[in-house]
Amino acid sequence: MSEEEDDIILSELDDEELVQQMFDDLYDGLKEEIEEAVHILLDRGWEPYDILTKALVGGMTIVGNDFRDGILFVPEVLMAAGAMKGGMAILKPLLAETGAPRIGKMVIGTVKGDIHDIGKNLVSMMMEGAGFEVVDLGINNPVEAYLEALESEGPDILGMSALLTTTMPYMKVVIDTMTEKGIRDDYIVLVGGAPLNEEFGRAIGADAYCRDAAVAVETAKEFVLRKHNQMAAGA
Ligand code: B12
C-alpha cells in the first residue's frame, strides 16, 4: 500500500465499510487490495464462504450490471475478474476438504465458444469443499473434450457452464451426443450459468439447473445419494 496520507487503510475500516470498499476495489480491478481485504476479513473470523458470496460475488454483481448497461467494457471487466480470482485463490484451500471420504466425482467445464470461468471455478471450489473430487476441464470445451473426460475419469456428475445466450444451446449438443452414444443415463448432468433457468435445463435434458454454487452442492449431494441408493437396491 502507498504511504500517501489520504490513502484508505483497509484494516482501519469496520466490516461493513470494508465490504463496501471491496466492491469499489473489485470494480477498479485492484487485485492486491482485494487480496489484502480477504486476509483482513479472515483474520476477523469471517467464514470463507461468506467472504466469497457477500464480498466477492456481491462486488461482481455490480460489475455485471454496469457491463450490461455499457458503463464498463471488456478490459475493465477483465481486471475485475482478475481481482476476483486473486481473492478466490486465497479462499480455495480454506474451502477445500480436509480428508473426509469423497462423496462423489464431478467433471466440469465451460462449453465451446465461451470463456467465462469465474462461476464454474466457484462451483468447483464449493464442490471440493463439500467433499467431491472435481476434474476441471477449463473453458471452451467441445463435445469431444467432455466425452473423453467422462470416459477417462468416470465421474458421477457432468457439470456444464455457459454465460452467453449464444453458447448455452451447446449444452444440448453435448447431452444429445451422450444420448446417441447410449451413455446419457450413466451420469448426473448439472448445468448452470447466469442466462439459464430451470425450464431450459429441463428442455435440454439435464438432470438439474443450479442457480448458484450452494444449490449446485445441495443438488449434487441429493442426486449422488439417490444414485447410490438405486445401485444398492438394484444389487
Ligand atoms: C466477468 C465477465 C466477463 C469476463 C470473463 C472473465 C472470466 N475469466 O470469466 C470477460 C471480460 C472475459 C467477458 C467477456 C465477454 N462477455 Co461477459 N460477463 C462477465 C460478467 C460481468 C460476470 C460473469 C461472472 O463471472 N459472474 C460471477 C459468477 C460467480 O456468477 P456466474 O458465472 O453466473 O456463476 C454462478 C451461477 O451461474 C452458477 N453456475 C455457473 N456455472 C455453473 C456450472 C454448473 C455445472 C452449475 C451447477 C452452476 C453454475 O454458479 C455460479 C456461482 O454461484 C457477466 C455479467 C453477468 N450478469 O453474468 C458478463 C456477461 C455474461 N458477458 C456478456 C458478454 C456479451 C460478453 C462478451 C461477448 C463481450 C464482448 N463483446 O466481447 C465476451 C464473450 C467472450 C466469450 N467468448 O466467452 C453478457 C452475455 C449476454 C448474453 N445474453 O449472452 C453478460 C451477461 C454481460 C451483459 N449483460 O452484457 N465477460
Looking at the structure, tell me whether residues 83 and 120 fall in a common domain.
no
Asked whether residue 1 carries a pLDDT value surpassing 60, the answer given is no
Query: With pLDDT > 90 as the criterion, what percentage of the chain qualifies?
Result: 77
Looking at the structure, tell me whether residues 114 and 18 fall in a common domain.
no
Is 119 part of any domain? Answer: yes
Looking at the structure, tell me whether residues 91 and 122 fall in a common domain.
no
Q: Which whole number is the average pLDDT over 187-202?
A: 98
DSSP string over 139-175: SSB-HHHHHHHHHHH--SEEEEE--STTTTTHHHHHH
CA distances from 19 to 11, 33, 46, 124 (A): 11, 12, 12, 24
* Dist. CA 133 → ligand 1 center (Å): 24
Domain span including residue 229: 104-234
CA distances from 177 to 174, 184, 194, 202 (A): 5, 8, 24, 16
Query: What phi and psi, each to the nearest 5 degrees, are found at residue 34?
Result: -65, -45
Looking at the structure, tell me whether residues 174 and 212 fall in a common domain.
yes
Looking at the structure, tell me whether residues 80 and 118 fall in a common domain.
no
Of 129, 235, 126, 233, nearest to 190 by C-alpha is 126
Maximum average pLDDT range among 6-20, 89-103, 119-133: 6-20
Looking at the structure, tell me whether residues 133 and 73 fall in a common domain.
no
- Domain end marker among 70, 95, 120: 95
Looking at the structure, tell me whether residues 187 and 219 fall in a common domain.
yes
Mutate to test the pocket of ligand 1, among 85, 108, 163, 223 (most ligand atoms within 8 A of CB): 163
Looking at the structure, tell me whether residues 20 and 76 fall in a common domain.
yes
Residue nearest to atom 28 of ligand 1 (CA): 119
* Dist. CA 194 → ligand 1 center (Å): 7
Number of domains in the chain: 2
- Domain end marker among 95, 128, 148: 95
- Domain end marker among 72, 95, 118: 95
Looking at the structure, tell me whether residues 185 and 210 fall in a common domain.
yes
Looking at the structure, tell me whether residues 75 and 112 fall in a common domain.
no
Is 3 part of any domain? Answer: no
Looking at the structure, tell me whether residues 85 and 189 fall in a common domain.
no
Pairwise CA distance, residues 84 & 27, whole Å = 10
Asked whether residue 101 carries a pLDDT value surpassing 70, the answer given is no
Is 80 part of any domain? Answer: yes
